[in-house]
Amino acid sequence: MRVLVVGAGALGGYFGGRLLQAGRDVTFLVRPRRAGELAAGGLKIKSPLGDFSIPHPPTILADRIERSFDLILLSCKAYDLSGAMDSIAAAVGPETLILPLLNGMRHLEALDERFGRFHVLGGQCVIAATLDAERTIVQLNDRHTLAFGERNGVLSDRVRAAAATLGNAGFDARLSDRIVPEMWEKWVFLATLASATCLMRAPLGDILSSPGGGELIRGMFEECRAVADTAGYPPSAAFLDQALAALTAAGSPLTASMLRDIEAGAPIEADHIVGDLLQRCSAARADRAGPSLLSIAYTHLKSYEARRSRTAVRP
């Protein structure tokens, strides 16, 4: 398969780099600045599982795409989705598969509307990675899983072909027959983690050691779980046990990447991760009074966005 990886940042650069390292046919769709960086210094990855670099990774600009790709790995942030869809339009042919790695569910609706549901797989990844000051991709832990599948659960020939391309490439690639429920489970976990750690401006361990911290985290988790239940995707018992254990582990240094973005003064995915879940929760909270914990967290995130926009340095 000819693979187009949208972006060469922390996620796209890592998974695309591993695919290139394994000899797959990969091209990075990048902006001019990133194209220049990669041409000058190559793609560099630091990882607990082994450092590697690729001197001259194949790149292309959106206006240079002349033919379609078989598989598009979409790893942009949610607030960049509209521009990313514009950039890949020329790369989408009659049989192209789009594998988005965004969190939440709203992006599926946008991709379906733009390109048609036929083209859009379900997908998610589990990895902690960032770009450092030297524009090197730094993997922060030893987990690098990419799960994907048809959204109706069918193990089709085309998704098996994608699995053959993504498999045995230096990361854990997993073909799933229940990818949408798994995406909902991750969303429940991530929305809880982001809401709690951003609202409290602290990792889980510090929140848990503070008065009321455990109740706050458990309350947020329960609200998020109830939304998934109402939407028809109740999380499995095994997920609930594992997620709650991770969220309430004493001394945990875990934070959401959204908190790291806030601390860096960067844009955040407030609407996609927390706001969209909140919009879906009215039925789940029909018998409750007063603001939810999730709504308080969302107001906090939107206040950050408003302040960031108001104080931005403008030309």
List of long-range contacts for 44-47, beta carbons under 8 Å, 24+ apart: 44/134, 44/135, 44/136, 44/137, 45/13, 45/14, 45/17, 45/136, 45/137, 45/138, 45/139, 46/136, 46/137, 46/138, 46/139, 47/14, 47/138, 47/139, 47/144
Answer yes or no: 44 catalytic.
no
Q: Is 150 left (phi over 0), alpha (psi -120 to 50) or beta?
A: beta
Helix H or strand E encompassing 147: strand 145-149
User: Which residue in 44, 46, 186, 302 is the catalytic one?
Assistant: 186
Side chain identity at 245, as an amino acid letter?
A
Structure tokens at 314: 């403008």
Tokens of 4: 């187009």
- Name the CA dihedral angle for 234, 238, 242, 244, rounded to a multiple of 10 degrees: 40
Q: What is the pairing mode between strands 25-29 and 59-60?
A: parallel
Helix axes 179-200, 293-310, angle to 10 degrees: 70
3-state helix, strand and coil shares in percent for the chain, rounded to the nearest 5: 50, 15, 35
Residue numbers annotated as active site: 186
